[in-house]
Structure 1
Amino acid sequence: MKDLSEHFSAVWIAFLRFALAGVLLAPFLLRGKRVDFTAGGILGLLLFAAFMFQVEALGQMSASRNAFITGLNVLIVPLLGVMAGRMPENRIIIAVLLSMAGLFAMCWDGGSWSAGDTLALAGALCFGVYVKLMEVLTRRANDMMALTAVQIITVALCAAAWIVMTEPQAIDWAGVGDRIRGNFYNLVYLGVFATAAIISLQTWGQRHASANEAAIVYAFEPGCAAIAAYFWLSETMTLRSLAGGLLLIAGMIVSQWRPTARTAPA
């Protein structure tokens, strides 16, 4: 997405990757029922907002920094409880302090807080709500693949509508075609693997795991993004940025960590 953000706007990236994924998964719509279409539509709207914020932010910041801030979505659910008036548990207080320290270290290293950071944080909020809703709605679904197809097609339709409303009347289709051909492999990877395959696996997985368990796994995504950015985009992180990233991951994991008491052996 960082690579594509130099050639396409955020809404075009969302439209192209989700349209390709939607075409691949469209046959599963035949198996869907009303509950799948309703849940998929809600999840699709949230996912569209999250991706728009994330890709807009990517145009103004490094991929690794974006990933670490987006990873804060795992703190959103417990923090929503705090905003509702429930006192936070000790682990939440520790998690917030770790995350704030991590953000401070990264911002100190990469400059002051910017508009891109704010967009990434808004995306993290949308992703956090999306993960929590996924836990609830997937358990009510009739067919998981139909639900997945609906949410992906919803994102593509939202992006298409956004393009029609905001782009000039004369869209340069020839120019778009040239850019698609020039970034063909990036788009295929995003559409087939990072959208159709990954969201299908995520939807299935969250039906069998809690949002907290899923969030712990997702907490490792920023580290993977930093490694990929190093090899793919030649982005480097200083020791201070690395320390900040590790603090952020520690905060994410602590926020979701609920050790279960072991049963005494017979």
Structure 2
Amino acid sequence: MNHQFRGVLALLVVTLVWGTTFPAMKGLTVYFSPVWIIFSRFALAAVLLAPFLWRARRDDLRAGAVLGLLLFFCFLFQVEGLALTSSNRNAFICGLNVLIVPLLGVMGGRLPERKLVLALLLAVGGLAALCWDDGSWGRGDWLALMSALCFAVYVRTMEVRLRQASRLLSVTAAQIGTVALCAALWLLAREVPRGSIDVAQDAANYWAYIGHGLQQYWWNVGYLGVVATAAIISLQSWGQARTTANEAAVIYSFEPGAAAFFAFFWLGEALSPRAWLGATLLISGMIVSQWNTASRPPAALAPE
């Protein structure tokens, strides 16, 4: 099994676990604001990966900070847009990063292979069948489109930064810590109470509310922080260091299909015939993207 194929398998596992975050997030969205969800999961993951920042090289820290800033805005635009539009429209528009990633490569003078063009068409068709619903374009859709653009830039940046990194886990730890820091600053600037009558009492009630929520939903936060963030972003970094950004984009397009699959078995949400067609097209796109792929030299990074 060569490095490229192992990287593809790693990203497939990443995408499947991303699909499981839907039931884990469902309870949290009732209680917490979107940025609190981002902060809680990334802060826990940052604590777990903090030892890998010890004696980390400056270039690795810089790469992690850039990736973390991009990833924060990916999440921010997505969850803010989700509050203003349906989840189906949000999923489809955010999934357009499948097209944006190779388009960014075309702008840089790199034309995609024919099989990848076919894979992208299958992936976009699958997303449309799985997620699209009717309605006029609004502010929430623009925010979702910004999330797609940020994620495309994030995936393209990872392709370059991770191949230049000295220690993958140092980059990952810096990336996750940056997302947690950005979320904390956002919360302090926009959500922590700043009442004009009794600031101390308002703050006490606010933190009591947050503490109660963390106790009530500790399993959700723990799963999102430990498995879906610390472990999976580390695996994502390892896998993407061994694949191209275009290949990663096609694999990531399966996320809505994975989310629908786990929602069907965990939450009892039925899949329509159109949804099954969409999932089939997404899987077909991944298969086509990897069909008869020529081997290439292994990445310079050693597994950690």
For the aligned pair, the TM-score class normalised by the smaller chain equals: 0.7 to 0.9
C-alpha distance in structure 2 between counterparts of 1:107 and 1:122, whole Å: 18
Task: Determine if contact 2:92/2:128 at 8 Å carries over to the other structure.
Answer: no
Does residue 135 of structure 2 align to residue 112 of structure 1? yes
Q: Secondary structure at the match of 1:35?
A: helix
Instruction: Return closer, same or farther for 1:55/1:2 CA change in 2, 3 Å cut-off.
Output: farther
C-alpha distance in structure 1 between counterparts of 2:163 and 2:111, whole Å: 28
Tell me which stretches of 4 or more aligned residues in structure 1 moved more than 6 Å: 84-89
C-alpha distance in structure 2 between counterparts of 1:90 and 1:146, whole Å: 36
Aligned to 1:77: 101
Task: Determine if contact 1:219/1:253 at 8 Å carries over to the other structure.
Answer: no
Does residue 221 of structure 2 align to residue 175 of structure 1? no
Q: What percent of counterpart residues are identical?
A: 57
Aligned to 1:35: 59
Aligned to 2:152: 128
Does residue 231 of structure 2 align to residue 206 of structure 1? no
Q: May I ask how many residue pairs the two structures share in their alignment?
A: 259
C-alpha distance in structure 1 between counterparts of 2:127 and 2:98, whole Å: 15
C-alpha distance in structure 1 between counterparts of 2:38 and 2:149, whole Å: 18
Aligned to 2:271: 237
C-alpha distance in structure 2 between counterparts of 1:52 and 1:69, whole Å: 15
Structure 1 residue 142 displacement after superposition: 1.8
- The one-letter code matched in structure 1 to 2:39 is F
Structure 1 residue 52 displacement after superposition: 1.3
Task: Determine if contact 1:5/1:58 at 8 Å carries over to the other structure.
Answer: no
Deviates more, 1:15-24 or 1:227-236: 227-236
C-alpha distance in structure 2 between counterparts of 1:53 and 1:38, whole Å: 23
C-alpha distance in structure 2 between counterparts of 1:160 and 1:227, whole Å: 33
C-alpha distance in structure 1 between counterparts of 2:33 and 2:274, whole Å: 31
Deviates more, 1:94-103 or 1:74-83: 94-103
1:196 to 230, 240, 243: 230
Instruction: Return closer, same or farther for 1:206/1:179 CA change in 2, 3 Å cut-off.
Output: same
Q: Tell me the TM-score normalized by structure 2.
A: 0.73
Structure 1 residue 127 displacement after superposition: 1.6
Aligned to 1:224: 258
Please, which runs of 5 or more residues in structure 2 have no aligned partner?
1-24, 195-201, 296-304
- The one-letter code matched in structure 1 to 2:212 is D
Q: Secondary structure at the match of 2:215?
A: helix
- The one-letter code matched in structure 1 to 2:161 is L
Aligned to 1:14: 38
Task: Determine if contact 2:125/2:278 at 8 Å carries over to the other structure.
Answer: yes
C-alpha distance in structure 1 between counterparts of 2:273 and 2:89, whole Å: 14
- The one-letter code matched in structure 2 to 1:164 is L
1:148 to 160, 169, 172: 172
- The one-letter code matched in structure 2 to 1:231 is F
Instruction: Return closer, same or farther for 1:113/1:233 CA change in 2, 3 Å cut-off.
Output: farther
Instruction: Return closer, same or farther for 1:92/1:220 CA change in 2, 3 Å cut-off.
Output: closer
Two-structure CA RMSD over aligned residues (Å): 3.0
Task: Determine if contact 2:123/2:250 at 8 Å carries over to the other structure.
Answer: no
Instruction: Return closer, same or farther for 1:134/1:174 CA change in 2, 3 Å cut-off.
Output: same
Does residue 86 of structure 2 align to residue 61 of structure 1? yes
Please, which runs of 5 or more residues in structure 1 have no aligned partner?
none
- The one-letter code matched in structure 2 to 1:205 is G
Instruction: Return closer, same or farther for 1:186/1:114 CA change in 2, 3 Å cut-off.
Output: farther
